Chains A and B, each alone.
Chain A
Amino acid sequence: MTTDVQSNNSRVEQFLTFQLADEAYGVEILKVQEIRGWEVVRVIPNTPDFVKGVLNLRGSVVPIIDLRERFSLERCEYSPKTVVIVLCVEHGPNQFVMGIVADAVSDVLDINLADIKKAPNFGSKIDTRYMRGMHVYKKKMIMLLDVDKLLNPDEVDGIDSLV
């Protein structure tokens, strides 16, 4: 692994990691616009459950998505520690601002792109389309998410909900 780091084409990117039900996830830090505490959102009727609602972010209306519910993890009560990570998502030529609810943010890691392992193929049972890859940090597995694919408005529509 050390040889990889020294290799010429190795690039380092920063990732923001956060906790979801004891699992560690990461998103590219360049996509992160801000991190804020959880506050009550306005429910949008007739949308999938994981779309918690919309929030007023300095004048623009931003949808908030609960990743626990998105990933069919066990739901949990929102606490003062619950955070909302506001992300800037690119979808074609358009940019969208969306928030995801996470249990807690943990760290910003410098990850060498060469150290990102491709997500294993689980067959059709688990969808790995939204994964950019995996990274092992201090013997813990971090799942790196591809924000643009995970949060694009078509996916969030719920038309194509998880298997």
Chain B
Amino acid sequence: MSIDMSQFHQVFFEECFEGLEAMESGLLTLDMGAIDSEIINTIFRGAHSIKGGSGTFGFTIVADYTHIMETLLDEMRDGRRQVTQPAVDVLLGSVDCLREMLTAIQNERVVDDVSVAKHKTALEIVLNGGSMEKESVSPVEPEWASVDAVVNIAPDIIEEKSVELAEQGWKIAFCPYLDLLKTGNDPVRLFRELNQLGELTTIANIQDVPGFYEIDPEECNISWDLKVSGDISEDEIREIFNWVEGDCEMDIQSLAKVVKPAPVIKKVDPEPSPVSTPNNPVQKLVEVKPKVVAEAKKADAQDSVNETAKTTVKASSIRVDTDKIDTLINMVGEVVITQSMLGLVGENFTMDKVGQLKRGLAQLERHTRDLQQSVMNIRMLPISFVFSRFPRLVHDISNKLDKKIVLKLVGENTEVDKAVVELINDPLVHLIRNSLDHGIEMPADRVAAGKSETGTIELKAYHRGGHIVIEIIDDGRGLDKDKFLAKAVEKGLIEENNLLTEKQIFELIFMPGFSTAEQLTDISGRGVGMDVVRRNIQSLGGNIEIISELGKGTTIAIHLPLTLAILDGQSVAVGDETYIVPLMSIIESINITERMLNKVAGKGETFRLRNEYLPVIRMRGIFNVHSGNPTKPKEGVLVVVEGQGELCCLLVDELLGQQQVVIKSLEANYRRVEGVSGATILGDGSVALILDVPGLVRFSIR
């Protein structure tokens, strides 16, 4: 019986990535003080499913790796091992490593063996008690986790093993932490003891030793590769290193099984770990399978418990709530009923059935609209798809910056279109990095400013009108208006004595090339800037604004349309052309006479609307429309629109009607056109262009 396994690969990868997400968020929520066994269980289950699945599909390298993680997690689960922050960090690293491996396999790239080996060694060290708390918690002899797992990669290793069996002894990669000497341990003493067991050869790696003037004699910068030959048990060696267990990283391998001295990069050993029995992969498969089934069941149960299946990976498939599908099916049923009713009316149609027909059509219209709505609903995903990755980001960056920051997520279940979810991620990452790096101050500065040591970043999503609003609120140092102004003047972006409102000043941050950071860091302050963020958000049809108070914090609010596929539009005529103006952006429409328009400096036209002068854009002129009668303003209609907080008037010939339009991309077959955000197809089959109001406003200002 042969089944083409590759057809399940996609599902497998998706499940793996979901599992990784679950593990990651579990690891991040682990509180060192009070370990929640349920969280550990969740993490364990994630690792276990990945291991089982990858075994089934023959991705041994992944299975082997996960096996080590699993062993570690298993011990944590049983309480045989304490959960420590270093261990959690290593596990987080492993999650990343697994993700890389899986992505590589998915894209049929070669897995980066070196980085895998690096993470694996780190894991093994934790497993063997390398960075555990002082008293060795596990009474159990640290088992060779990798033993039966690492059959992988090179079968020739096994062969060579038999050749080299003659040599007995151990190879030890010994890499003390910097402060080994401060704990009163002397490596030389250790070596002496080792030498008593058998013949010892030592190779010192001194590449980490700093220059002469930077040397701190109390720091141990050297690591060693040791080789002891003779008939010695591993326990004897471990006993010698017992005292330094918490102060070093080390890796002990039996020489009998090690293939030639591997190119050792410090303590990292890119060669696979030893193999005890050359076990048969087929056998292993058989053994794994029943587990997979059991695990799958468990995973299902888990799924129903916490329904939010989290993936931030750009998935080409989406998971849909069954409720949504049920609604959809109901709706389709309704449509079918209405259709058959209409069919009945039409069969023997007489004029007295007109009323019935009209009722039927009205019903059909309603159902079609509902149907459309629920189909759109399927595309809606909770914003948590994006949010879920930020705890990790904040965790990593705040550690790196030595800042204390908590991230609060609010409104994660707010739903938004899949396309928006995919595109909003990068701008959000950028903004959050900014808040982390520039917004929140160092703990000491915070205390000095009378704030709590721990900074807060709140990520908040909610619906308002037809928009979703995403806010990033930090309680950091806020934006300095005066500094902004000075910088803008210095860069020649504005004139020195320009009077700008607060809002306009903050808008400066979106100008290309504007950065107030005195110093670039590797987290933010270089590369893509806020101008790119704003452009991305605008390309989604949204806008972004900043509210900030010096010393109190900054709020960045992003407004985005709920969906990118449908829009309520007002069709307007200009000559023979029909354009669609998004209804959201229209403030009002006014019939005007020529006298109401004023020329400014002989060129720009303005319109006075309730004591406010608004620029007028003649659509005919800006779009070079020559057909029809040239607009005499007295016959025209002014549509007052708002784009990016600026008001302006579009002068068109006529208002036609309001309708919902399906947005078609112009870029799919052509390119972006200034002033046009897309196209749509009208009831008569012809194409109409949808106006990009913020774009037009920008266009008119220039």
Interface residues of A (CB under 8 A from B): 40-47, 51, 53-56, 59-63, 96-98, 153, 156-157
Chain A residues with Cβ under 8 A from B686's Cβ?
40, 42, 56
**Is B673 an interface residue when CB atoms closer than 8 A count as contact?**
yes
- Once the chains are docked, how many angstroms separate the CA of A56 from the CA of B687? 6
Q: Contacts A54-B666, A54-B670, A62-B669 given: A42-B675 contact, CB under 8 Å?
A: no
Residue of B577, B623, B679 near A46 (CB, 8 A) is B623
Given contacts A45-B625, A54-B687, contact A61 B679 (CB under 8 A): yes
Q: How far is the CB of A84 from chain B (nearest CB, A)?
A: 14
Q: Indicate if the CB atoms of B669 and A61 lie closer than 8 Å.
A: yes
Which A residues lie within 8 Å of B671 (CB)? 153, 156-157
Question: What residue in chain A is nearest B662 (Cβ atoms)?
Answer: A59
Contacts of B674 in A (CB 8 A): 46
Q: A42-B688, A54-B679 are in contact. Are A61 and B673 (CB under 8 A)?
A: no
- Which residue of A42, A55, A97 is within 8 Å of B689 (Cβ)? A42
Given A45-B689, A46-B624, A46-B673, list of 11 further CB < 8 A pairs? A43-B577, A44-B666, A45-B624, A45-B625, A56-B686, A56-B687, A61-B670, A62-B669, A96-B670, A97-B669, A157-B671
Interchain nearest-CB distance for B126 vs A (Å): 43
> What chain A residues lie within 8 Å of B625 (beta carbons)?
43, 45
Cross-chain pairs A/B with CB under 8 angstroms, 27 sampled: A42-B688, A43-B577, A43-B625, A44-B689, A45-B623, A45-B624, A45-B689, A46-B674, A46-B675, A51-B670, A53-B687, A54-B687, A55-B687, A56-B686, A56-B687, A60-B669, A61-B664, A61-B665, A61-B666, A61-B669, A61-B670, A61-B679, A61-B687, A62-B669, A97-B669, A98-B669, A156-B670
Q: Are A153 and B675 in contact (CB under 8 A)?
A: no
Q: Which residue of A lies closest to B577 (CB)?
A: A43
Q: Give the chain B neighbours of A51 by CB distance below 8 A.
A: 670
Give min CB distance, A38 to chain B, whole Å. Answer: 14
Q: Are B681 and A59 in contact (CB under 8 A)?
A: yes
The residue on A at minimum CB distance from B627 is: A43
Q: How far is the CB of B529 from chain A (nearest CB, A)?
A: 25
How many angstroms between the C-alpha atoms of A96 and B622 in the bound complex? Answer: 28
Q: B663-694 vs A: 1/0 string, CB under 8 Å?
A: 01110111101111001010001111100000
Residues of chain A with a CB closer than 8 A to B673's CB: 44-47
By a CB distance below 8 angstroms, the chain B residues around A98 are 669-670
Max chain A CB contacts within 10 Å: which of B622, B625, B670?
B670
- Specify the chain B residue showing the minimal Cβ separation from A53: B687
Query: Which of chain A's residues have a CB closer than 8 A to the CB of B675?
Result: 45-46
List chain A residues, Cβ under 8 A from B676. 44-45
| Nearest opposing residue in chain B for A157, CB measure | B671
How far is it, in angstroms, between the C-alpha of A43 and the C-alpha of B666 when the chains are bound?
12
- By a CB distance below 8 angstroms, the chain A residues around B689 are 42, 44-45
Assembly CA distance A96 to B665 (angstroms): 12
Question: Could you say which residues of chain B place their CB within 8 Å of the CB of A97?
Answer: 669
Residue ranges of B at the interface with A (Cβ–Cβ < 8 Å): 577, 622-625, 664-666, 668-671, 673-676, 679, 681, 685-689
Q: Write out the residue numbers on chain B whose beta carbons fall within 8 Å of the beta carbon of A44.
A: 666, 670, 673, 676, 689
Closest chain A CB from B535 CB (angstroms): 19
What CA separation (Å) do A43 and B679 show in the bound complex? 11
Q: Looking across the interface, which residue of chain A has its beta carbon closest to that of B675?
A: A45
| Chain B residues with CB under 8 A of A54 | 666, 670, 679, 687
Considering the chains assembled together, what is the distance between the CA atoms of A119 and B664 in angstroms?
Answer: 39
The winner among A55, A56, A60, A153 for most chain B CB atoms within 10 A is A56
Q: Report Cα–Cα, A44/B677, bound state, in Å.
A: 12
Complex CA–CA separation, A135 to B625 (angstroms):
41
- Check B687 against A60 for contact (C-beta < 8 Å): no
B680 to chain A, nearest CB (A): 8
Q: Measured between C-beta atoms, what is the minimum distance from B679 to chain A in Å? A: 5
CA distance A41 to B624 in the complex (A): 16
CA distance A98 to B667 in the complex (A): 12
State which of B669, B679, B681, B685 has its C-beta within 8 Å of the C-beta of A96.
Answer: B669
Contacts of A157 in B (CB 8 A): 671
Complex contacts, B679 vs chain A, CB 8 Å: 42, 54, 61
- Measured in the bound complex, the distance between the Cα atoms of B686 and A98 in whole Å is 17
Q: Which chain B residues border A62 with CB–CB below 8 Å?
A: 669
Residues of B within 8 A of A153 (CB): 670-671
Q: What A residues does B681 contact at CB under 8 A?
A: 56, 59, 61
Give which listed residue, A46, A59, A63, contacts B670 with CB less than 8 A. Answer: A63
Report chain A residues within 8 Å CB of B668.
Answer: 60-61, 96
Q: In the complex, what residue of chain B is closest to A65 when comparing beta carbons?
A: B670
Interface contact A63-B624, CB-CB below 8 Å: no
Assuming the contacts A55-B687, A56-B686, asked whether A42 and B669 have C-beta atoms less than 8 A apart, the reply is no
**Interchain nearest-CB distance for B581 vs A (Å):** 14
7 closest Cβ pairs, A-B complex: A45-B623, A42-B687, A63-B670, A61-B679, A61-B664, A96-B669, A153-B671
B668 to chain A: closest residue by CB: A60
Q: Can you name the residue of chain A whose Cβ is closest to the Cβ of B688?
A: A42
B residues in contact with A40, CB < 8 Å: 686
Distance in Å from the Cβ of A151 to the closest Cβ of chain B?
10
Instruction: Tell whether, in the assembled complex, residue B664 and residue A60 are in contact, meaning their CB atoms are under 8 Å apart.
Output: yes
Nearest B-chain residue to A89, judged by Cβ: B669
Q: Which residues of B contact A61 (CB under 8 A)?
A: 664-666, 668-670, 679, 681, 687
- The CA of A87 and the CA of B624, in the complex, are separated in Å by 28
* Nearest B-chain residue to A88, judged by Cβ: B669
Report A81 CB to chain B, min CB distance, Å. Answer: 22
Q: Please, which residue of chain B has its CB at the minimum distance from the CB of A95? A: B669
Q: How far is the CA of A53 from the CA of B687 in the complex (A)?
A: 10
Kindly provide the distance from the CB of A159 to the nearest chain B CB, expressed in whole angstroms.
10
CA distance A47 to B673 in the complex (A): 8
Closest chain A CB from B206 CB (angstroms): 49
Give the docked Cα–Cα distance between A62 and B679 (Å). Answer: 10
CB neighbours (8 Å) of A43 from chain B are 577, 625
Minimum CB distance partner of A62 in chain B: B669
* Closest Cβ neighbor of B665 among chain A residues: A61
- Smallest CB gap from B673: residue in A: A44
Chain B residues with Cβ below 8 Å from A45 are 622-625, 673, 675-676, 689
Q: Which residues of A contact B624 (CB under 8 A)?
A: 45-46
Distance in angstroms between the alpha carbons of A121 and B673 in the assembled complex: 35
Complexed CA–CA distance, A61 and B669 (Å): 7
List, in ascending order, chain B residues with CB within 8 A of A156's CB.
670-671
* A61, B676: Cα distance in complex, Å: 14
Q: Looking at the assembled complex, report how far the CB atom of B399 sits from the nearest CB atom of chain A, in whole angstroms.
A: 38
CA gap between A62 and B667 in the complex, in Å: 10
Contacting pair A56 B685 (CB below 8 A)? yes
Q: Which residues of B contact A46 (CB under 8 A)?
A: 623-624, 673-675
